Structure 1
Amino acid sequence: MVTPSHNPPADGGFKYNPPHGGPADTDATGWIANRANELLENGLRGVKRIPLNDALKADGTGKFDFLSSYVDDLPSVLDLDAIRTAGVRIGADPMGGASVDYWGEIGERHQLDLTVVNPTVDPQWAFMTLDWDEKIRMDCSSPSAMASLIKRMSDSASAGTGAFDVATGNDADADRHGIVTPDGGLMNPNHYLAVAIDYLYRNRTGWNPESVVGKTLVSSSIIDRVAAGLGRKLVEVPVGFKWFVPGLLSGEGAFGGEESAGASFNKRDGSVWTTDKDGILLALLASEITAVTGKSPSQLYKGLTDQFGAPVYARIDAAATREQKAKLGKLSAADVTATTLAGEDITAKLTEAPGNGASIGGLKVVTENAWFAARPSGTEDVYKIYAESFKGADHLKQVQEEAKALVDGVIS
């Protein structure tokens, strides 16, 4: 697939998945990048070419109907009967990407009340509203990029017409999801993950009863509390969906989700559906949740916060030289001498993910009601601070300030 994913159109490139179907590891992508640069530097000498017609007639060339294979198998992973019976009205925005034709076929083949709100395909994505930095970016978790769909949902709710019960967006390669509800607008990805996990582990009776919940270490800790409430083991891994592949394949980890609006889960019988993020799947799940529970995902999230507390989550950037970023990526827990964070005792200092022992390429510090994680940027002279507090926005700000001071003190 050639796609800019959730990035500006000019950042388009090839998306490669290895034979296991999950995201490629850095070993593979690094080799591909090095080889591609080598070929470019040599004027593409050594790159073999063949006319398209000859390629199509070659013995090794075949055709496969990916669309039908995907759309027709959806009932194995989702309760589409419930969606259809409840008459859930769905508005789907493919954001000009790979899912454009899929959404129309999903609605038609499964007889759902589904409207493709924007079927436009434009390589410049000129129809997009600008993101926060005035760039075109197909980020379905961004209120700016999703402004058109949010406004359409809001206007219909205000007018009492209620055009859709659930509206969804996907980025250009459809591996991310955005969920818009009449009562809550665009949901924070962490909030929706918590709702999805709570719903699935309560309703997927065909899953392994010992199946764990998978999350990345910078995802919200409300997921930890939801997993505990379900009596399920939580497996926290470094950033990157590749870490969920073994569990999804075996059924031992039936759900894996990232804070960046990427997730997937197993079929209703517990077998593997996919080993990569599936934005269409998570978008349709919001309609199943609405159909089965009679409540929107945002209403269900409110119920979770009543039970587990309401976290406040944010990410900020802090300046750092290349040398400081390199040092941050190689920290050990022993390098951190602090014992408190924002008025609470530190309960964990992590440089390896507790779920699999893999290096997190940075630092995570945890207290009873808050945490922060610091990771170096791979493209800019900054490091990223992810932070969350269950004690409100003022406490979160204190966590962020102390996190920056702590990290600066260690890497300076």
Structure 2
Amino acid sequence: MSDRAGTPATESDLVDVEALIAAYYAGVPDVSDPAQRVVFGTSGHRGSSLDTAFNETHIAAITQAIVEYRASQGITGPLFVGRDTHALSRPAETTALEVLEANGVHALVDAYEDYVPTPALSHAILRYNREGHDDQADGIVITPSHNPPRDGGFKYNPPHGGPADSDATSWIANRANELIADGNRDVKMAEPSGVDTYDFREHYVADLENIIDIDAIKRAGVRIGADPLGGASVGYWKLIAEKYGLDLTVVNPTVDPTWRFMTLDWDGKIRMDPSSSSAMASVLAHRHDFDILTGNDADADRHGIVTPDGGLMNPNHYLAVAIEYLYTHRPEWRQDAAIGKTLVSSTMIDRVAESLGRRLWEVPVGFKWFVPGLIDGSVAFGGEESAGASFLRKDGTVWTTDKDGILLALLAAEIVAVTGKTPSQLYAELTERFGASAYERVDAAASKEQKARLGKLDGSAITAETLAGDPITARLSEAPGNGAAVGGVKVVTEHAWFAARPSGTEDVYKIYAESFRGSEHLREVQAEARAIVDAALGA
């Protein structure tokens, strides 16, 4: 934790936007350097032009690869393109449109040249494909999510509207790297003669009444504060307030590619993470001004929920409350619809699911795993511990197949309106029923070789019999819900668990841990987790 965490950014913290954009066009990556290759993580390719990791060469190659991939899949409909407020997003959009034009792909951009939240792009894809056209649409969203201002991001959403699966992203990344290695000679580019548009904002906002009880919020007069944190949701919150006549204030409508108005995150960097109390420090100063106060990251796929009585909620706590509320207030949802969670999310969700008599569907990290269930209604809610979730419309049909931070923020206002209690108060009631937990994620050093071994580690390699004094009941390297590889391990006891996964960007592995025996027991779990994993890796 930096001693500057939670303090306002200063001039020395700000990125030089002109230098950032100049490097985007000037830098030529060397794909023999792993740090300069195209790599799709759980949310697309990310990097900085200053590190020659996100440059025009990368984006041209990735877009050409997407063109070739969609052709191989028989995808011939329009391709929706949206961008967030990061400085590198606009030049990346320009590059992508030039490639799409030269390849004869029908691109649709925002009607107002506005920013496009990730959920609005997912919503647009699903809307088009639901209308019965002879072709299918897909999309590109240009965002590094909550990453610092120096970063750019680029991800592909196929016709199902959610994040592309590993087969697709691996193909696209491999092809893009082949193109770059050959000097992008097979990349076609042309100045667009004119790009068609789509009103992402109007269609998304007009549809919200079919998934959120807007009337209840309005009747109750819930005072909502929404902080876009300088991100793509800024115009959406304004329209939501106007269209539905809600008592909703956009706390800070400023958009600035340096994010000079932010407070620094835990490590002293500017990062738009709405689940971080350090990044949300300036927002938290307004907690008593509203009945519910929310934050979103740069592409609005994450949510932060602030209550006047509890402050910033732990994402796991809010997910548990949201699940308990939704499954008792959405009578048209299928009675056999499961509750989706990632295996590093809180066990409180398991206990809530059991009390509701609902099947728990536990999957590896990555929202892509929830996509099929959300589409067919067999999973009514999918949530990640990193403050990302989406759920079904009131009638049990699909809303978005990507994370929706705007939706989860509005749900918090509905919960207040309908129950008369804040999500913090409702979580306190859950702890009275199921016990209180201590949860934390920490990092531990690991070499690239150790990370590679951890990613392929089998649960049977864990030889320990106990964890922090309790017998180990499960050693998982595959997710219980779908049998997919975890990309690490999860070790479970009656009262606690830990999961270890390699970082995709740093020489560390992440340890997620939770204990229902308090914070001291959690420390024991974390310490033994390091020892257990190190022993399995031969560290």
TM-score exceeds 0.5: yes
Distance 2:447 2:301 in 1: 32
TM-score normalized by the length of structure 1 = 0.94
Equivalent residue number for residue 160 of structure 1: none
Q: Report the more deviating stretch, 108-117 or 318-327.
A: 318-327
Equivalent residue number for residue 147 of structure 2: 7
Aligned length: 398
Equivalent residue number for residue 272 of structure 1: 398
AA aligned to 1:226 is V
Distance 1:109 1:93 in 2: 18
Distance 1:164 1:99 in 2: 19
Distance 1:55 1:40 in 2: 27
Identify the match of residue 116 of structure 1 among 250, 265, 276. Answer: 250
Give the CA RMSD over aligned residues.
Answer: 1.3
Q: Report the more deviating stretch, 234-243 or 124-133.
A: 124-133
Q: Report the more deviating stretch, 13-22 or 142-151.
A: 13-22
Equivalent residue number for residue 291 of structure 1: 417
Tell me by how many angstroms 1:123 deviates.
1.6
Identify the match of residue 426 of structure 2 among 291, 295, 300. Answer: 300
Equivalent residue number for residue 96 of structure 1: 230
Tell me by how many angstroms 1:33 deviates.
3.4
Which deviations, in whole Å up to 9, do the C-alpha atoms of 1:312-353 show, x marking residues without a partner? Answer: 001111122222222222222221222111111111111100
Distance 2:226 2:217 in 1: 14
Equivalent residue number for residue 84 of structure 1: 218
Aligned pair 1:392/2:531, yes or no?
no
Equivalent residue number for residue 505 of structure 2: 379
Equivalent residue number for residue 283 of structure 2: 149
Aligned pair 1:177/2:303, yes or no?
yes
Q: Contact 1:2/1:15 (CA < 8 Å) preserved in 2?
A: yes
Distance 2:491 2:451 in 1: 17
Distance 2:298 2:167 in 1: 25
Secondary structure at 1:226 match in 2:
helix
Q: Contact 1:4/1:10 (CA < 8 Å) preserved in 2?
A: no
Tell me by how many angstroms 1:36 deviates.
3.9
Distance 1:121 1:345 in 2: 52
AA aligned to 1:394 is E
Equivalent residue number for residue 374 of structure 2: 248
Distance 1:3 1:318 in 2: 28
Equivalent residue number for residue 531 of structure 2: 405
Distance 2:455 2:258 in 1: 36
Aligned pair 1:193/2:355, yes or no?
no
Tell me by how many angstroms 1:66 deviates.
1.1
Which deviations, in whole Å up to 9, do the C-alpha atoms of 1:372-393 show, x marking residues without a partner? Answer: 0011112222111110000001
Tell me by how many angstroms 1:182 deviates.
0.2
AA aligned to 2:167 is D
Which deviations, in whole Å up to 9, do the C-alpha atoms of 1:201-221 show, x marking residues without a partner? Answer: 010001001111000000000
Aligned pair 1:22/2:167, yes or no?
no
Secondary structure at 1:263 match in 2:
strand
Equivalent residue number for residue 50 of structure 1: 190
Aligned pair 1:204/2:330, yes or no?
yes
Q: Report the more deviating stretch, 306-315 or 6-15.
A: 6-15
Tell me by how many angstroms 1:42 deviates.
5.1
Distance 1:147 1:344 in 2: 38
Displaced runs of 4+ in structure 1, greater than 6 A?
A: none
Equivalent residue number for residue 363 of structure 1: 489
Distance 2:255 2:180 in 1: 30
Distance 2:184 2:464 in 1: 54
Aligned pair 1:327/2:448, yes or no?
no
Q: Report the more deviating stretch, 379-388 or 176-185.
A: 379-388
Secondary structure at 2:369 match in 1:
helix
Equivalent residue number for residue 257 of structure 1: 383
Which deviations, in whole Å up to 9, do the C-alpha atoms of 1:120-178 show, x marking residues without a partner? Answer: 1112222111111111111111111111110122xxx3xxxxx2100101101110000
Tell me by how many angstroms 1:228 deviates.
0.5
Distance 1:357 1:13 in 2: 29
TM-score normalized by the length of structure 2 = 0.72
AA aligned to 2:153 is G
Q: Report the more deviating stretch, 377-386 or 82-91.
A: 377-386
Secondary structure at 2:278 match in 1:
coil
Distance 1:216 1:235 in 2: 8
Distance 2:503 2:263 in 1: 26
AA aligned to 2:281 is A
Q: What are structure 2's unaligned runs of at least 5 residues?
A: 1-140
Which deviations, in whole Å up to 9, do the C-alpha atoms of 1:95-133 show, x marking residues without a partner? Answer: 111111100000110110000111111122221111111
Distance 1:114 1:44 in 2: 48
Which deviations, in whole Å up to 9, do the C-alpha atoms of 1:172-207 show, x marking residues without a partner? Answer: 111000000000110000000000000000100010
Distance 1:200 1:12 in 2: 35
Q: What are structure 1's unaligned runs of at least 5 residues?
A: 57-61, 158-162
Q: List aligned pairs for 1:208-247, cutoff 5 A.
A: 208-247=334-373
AA aligned to 1:379 is T
Tell me by how many angstroms 1:37 deviates.
4.2
Tell me by how many angstroms 1:41 deviates.
5.0
Identify the match of residue 70 of structure 1 among 204, 220, 238. Answer: 204
Secondary structure at 1:272 match in 2:
coil
Which deviations, in whole Å up to 9, do the C-alpha atoms of 1:60-115 show, x marking residues without a partner? Answer: xx322111111001011000000000000000011111111100000110110000
Q: Report the more deviating stretch, 201-210 or 62-71.
A: 62-71
Tell me by how many angstroms 1:19 deviates.
1.3
